[in-house]
Structures are given as structure tokens and as C-alpha cells.
Structure 1
Amino acid sequence: MKLIIVAGPPSTGKTAIIRQIIRNLPERSVAYLKIDVVYAAEDTEIASEFGIPAKKVISGDLCPDHAGIMVLSDALVWARNEGADYLIVESAGLCLRCTPYTTESLGIAVLSAISGTHSPYKMSPMIALSDVAVVTRIDLVSQAEKEVFREAIRDVAPGVEIIETNAPIGTGLRYLMKVINSLAPIADQTAVTLRGSPPLGVCTVCVGRKEIGWENHFGVIRKLEGAGTLFRGE
């Protein structure tokens, strides 16, 4: 089975890209997993539209990218039991520092051309650890803006493959399908790991403290002025 992990900020067209991928793969060969925080309907929509097995995980108080990693091993077993040749995982896309890509997967970062020419720099880990950057909504920007956006992506990740598309129509996605068709199946599920290191740690805000000001917190902290991220013991 082949693993495809699709990440990117909200409303960039991730699900539209996934729909195009499913349309171009052999019928009923795909299982789909959606990770979101409080609500998602894509699983029922895609299951109804394509007749494929689909699940969703609502992460709630847990970071959605962390939740995705925690459930991925079970999801691989589920997809195999469903007879799938591909498992497509769609992240919630809310955290630009965490990245959900693993070894033995195809990591796709979906970016919107109308998000601003500086946006690739703001989500650099998500792009730098991916294999392919799919740029959507290219029909809504000028050629000059497309070129600037493309160069920003290359600045962040020189080796990433860039594919530009109008996702609902599927323009240019034949190049993405070539990459998917060349993807190797997972050789050993027990050896699948995260590609990059997650952020430094869980802070006391993450575990429920509501006070403002670094003085009221411990562990990894940050001041307005000073040496950046610090560690403060209790």
C-alpha cells in the first residue's frame, strides 16, 4: 500500500486536490482519512462521491497534526483491511510549524497563490519537508505574482517539485499523478517515522494554564525581548 499525506493551511484546496487524485486512481483502490479539530464532513462527502472507505478523526484538545501521527499506525491497518492500495491522509492544516509527513510516504503541501507572495516563508517547515508543493488558484493571480510565489517556494525548499493548478478543473495535475504513480509502497510499517523534529516541547499554556506573562509559566517560554526561546524550570 502507498501512503499519501496532504497538508497545507485551511481553505487552500486540499480536498479539491484529493478529489482529483482519487478520480485519476484505479476505482475503489483508495482509503481516505481526514484529521480535523472540531468538525469535518469531507469523509462522508468523499465516501458518498467515490464509494471508498473513509474515516475522520476529530482531535479536540489535541494538536491535529499530533493526533494524525498517533492514529496513523491504526489507520494503515484499517486501510489494508479495506483492501486499499492507497491511503490518503488529509491534515487539518492549522499548525504551520508541525508537519505530518512521514518516511515512506508522499508529502504534498497545498498552497494558495492568493495567500500572498510572502506566505511560503511563513509555512517553511511544511514546505521544506514535503516532496511536492501544489499551488492552487493560479487563475486568480497574474503571471508575475505566480513567478514571485514560485521563487519564494524554491527559496524555502530548493528541491521540492512545484505543480501549479486550478484544482476544481485539475489543470496540471497530470504531473502530480506521475509522481504518485512512481511512489513506492510502504516496505515496513514498523519503520515509518516522522520526517522532521516537532517543536521543542509542550508549554504550560498547552496543558491549561490561563495566566498571561512568561513569569507565570514554566518549561519552554518566550519573552518579548531577549534571547528568543528559553527554558525556565519550576
Structure 2
Amino acid sequence: MKLVIVAGPPSAGKTAVIRQIIRKFNKTDKTAFLKIDVVRAFEDEELHEEFGIPTKKVYSGDLCPDHMGIMVLRDAIKWAEDLKAGILIVESAGLCLRCTPYTTQAYGIAVLPAVSGSNAPLKMAPLIALADSAVVTKTALISQAEKEVFRECIHSVVPAIDIIETNAVQGTGLRYLMQAIAKHPAISDADTITLRGTPPLGVCTICIGKKEIGWQHHFGVIRPLEEADNIYRGD
């Protein structure tokens, strides 16, 4: 079974890209779908109704959705394998730009809307840096010059990443993505799958419920204003 992990900011067009992947592969490889979101999600219901595929969703609630995805991924793989699925697609809410949902043995897709601004890729470092391909959506809404600037901005983050421009609703321009997924190897051993990137260094006291403002009231991972630029950049 192949594992495909799709991430990106809200309203980027992740589900539209996933629809195209399902249309392409579900004819020959049974596709299973897992949606990870924070509070509410409907994509699993829509895809089940449209394609008749098995779907699941999980709400992360107080957890980062990318962290939740890693916690439940082993169970999701077993669920899909028990269904004899050929492809498991995992869609992350993509709300945390410091974390990343991609794992080893998976094909990672970062979905980026072209209308998000030319500097947007610089604000999504791990989300793009650890992906196998960047799918740029809503390209019909910007000029050719803006497309070129957006592409260069992505390449400034990851020089060698494959960039695919598409109108995902119609599926134009996605041929290379489908070829890349088809060539990607299946999972060899789920027990050896690991998170592809370096996680954040730790939780802060705000994460565990302290509400006071000011670093003086906290401990562990703290940062005064004067040291705001002195950050760990990870991957």
C-alpha cells in the first residue's frame, strides 16, 4: 500500500487535489482516506459519498493536528491495510507552520494557493521544505509574472522541489503528480516509519494551561522580546 500525505494552509485546495488523485487511482487501487482537523470537518463524508471509498476523520482538539496525525498514523495504516487498500491518503489541517506531517516511506504533497502572496512560501518553511512536491493551486487568478515570482519563492526555500501548477478543480497540470505517486514505492514496513522532520524542541507552559502574560511567569521554553530573533529554525 502507498502512503500519500497532503498538507497546506486552509482553503488552499487540498481536497480538490485529493479528489483528482482518487479519480486517477481508485479505478485500479482501492483508496482509503483519513482527514485530520481541529474542530469540524466534512471532507470524509463528501469523498465517501462521491467515490464510495472508506474514510475516517479525527479531531485533534487541544493537540496540533500534525501531532495528532503522527499519533494515529500507525492505526490508520492498519485500518487501510485491513481493507486491502492500495493507497492511503492522509489530509492534514495544515494549521501549524512549524510542524510537518510528512513521514518516511510516504509521498508528501504541499498544497499552496497562488493567491496567498508571493512571500507566503517563506512563511511555511517545514511544510514545503520536507515535501516531495509543491502543488500550486488557483493559478488562473494571478498573472504569469506573479506565477514566476511565486515559483522562485518556493525554490528559494527548497531549490530542488518539484513544482506543479494546477487548476485543481478541473485537474489541469496534475499529470506529473500522478506519475510521481504511481512511481513512489509502497510501504515496506510500517513499524519503521518515522517523522521526516525535526519536531519542535518542546512544549511551553502556555501549552499546558498557564495564562499569565510575560516570560517572567513561565519556565522551560521562554523568550524575552530582546531575543525574539534568536530562534531555532530546525529543518
Smaller-chain TM-score bracket: over 0.9
Secondary structure of the corresponding residue to residue 24 of structure 1: helix
Matched residue pairs, number?
230
Q: Aligned partners of 1:54 and 1:106: how far apart in 2?
A: 19
| Stretches of structure 1 lacking an aligned partner (at least 5 in a row) | none
Q: How does 1:28-43 map to 2 (within 5 A)?
A: 29-43=30-44
Which residue number in structure 2 is paired with residue 91 of structure 1? Answer: 92
Q: How far did 1:199 drift?
A: 1.0
| 1:140 and 2:141 correspond | yes
Secondary structure of the corresponding residue to residue 65 of structure 1: helix
- Which residue type is aligned with residue 37 of structure 1? V
Secondary structure of the corresponding residue to residue 191 of structure 2: helix
- C-alpha offsets along residues 4-33 of structure 1, whole Å, 9 cap, x if unaligned? 000011100000000011001133610000
**Higher deviation after alignment, 164-173 or 27-36:** 27-36
Q: How far did 1:83 drift?
A: 1.4
Which residue number in structure 1 is paired with residue 151 of structure 2? Answer: 150
Which residue number in structure 1 is paired with residue 79 of structure 2? Answer: 78
- Which residue type is aligned with residue 208 of structure 2? V
- Which residue type is aligned with residue 59 of structure 1? S
Which residue number in structure 1 is paired with residue 128 of structure 2? Answer: 127
Which residue number in structure 2 is paired with residue 160 of structure 1? Answer: 161
Q: How far did 1:189 drift?
A: 0.7
- Which residue type is aligned with residue 2 of structure 1? K
Question: Normalising by the residue count of structure 2, what TM-score does the alignment of the two structures yield?
Answer: 0.96
Which residue number in structure 1 is paired with residue 11 of structure 2? Answer: 11
Secondary structure of the corresponding residue to residue 98 of structure 2: coil
Q: How far did 1:175 drift?
A: 1.1
| 1:46 and 2:47 correspond | yes
Q: Aligned partners of 1:142 and 1:128: how far apart in 2?
A: 25
Q: How far did 1:226 drift?
A: 2.6
Q: Aligned partners of 1:223 and 1:170: how far apart in 2?
A: 47
Secondary structure of the corresponding residue to residue 203 of structure 1: coil
| Stretches of structure 2 lacking an aligned partner (at least 5 in a row) | none
**Higher deviation after alignment, 102-111 or 218-227:** 218-227
Q: How does 1:156-195 map to 2 (within 5 A)?
A: 156-195=157-196
| 1:68 and 2:61 correspond | no
Which residue number in structure 1 is paired with residue 22 of structure 2? Answer: 22
- Which residue type is aligned with residue 8 of structure 1? G
Q: Aligned partners of 1:191 and 1:47: how far apart in 2?
A: 30
Q: How far did 1:229 drift?
A: 4.8
Q: How far did 1:159 drift?
A: 1.3
- Which residue type is aligned with residue 101 of structure 2? P
Does the 8 A contact of 1:9 with 1:93 survive in 2? yes
- Which residue type is aligned with residue 21 of structure 1? I
- C-alpha offsets along residues 59-82 of structure 1, whole Å, 9 cap, x if unaligned? 101111000000000000000111
Secondary structure of the corresponding residue to residue 219 of structure 1: coil
Secondary structure of the corresponding residue to residue 225 of structure 2: coil
CA RMSD of aligned residues (A): 1.1
Does the 8 A contact of 1:16 with 1:168 survive in 2? yes
Q: Aligned partners of 1:223 and 1:35: how far apart in 2?
A: 34
Aligned structure 1 segments of 4 or more residues deviating by more than 2 angstroms: 226-230
**Higher deviation after alignment, 20-29 or 150-159:** 20-29
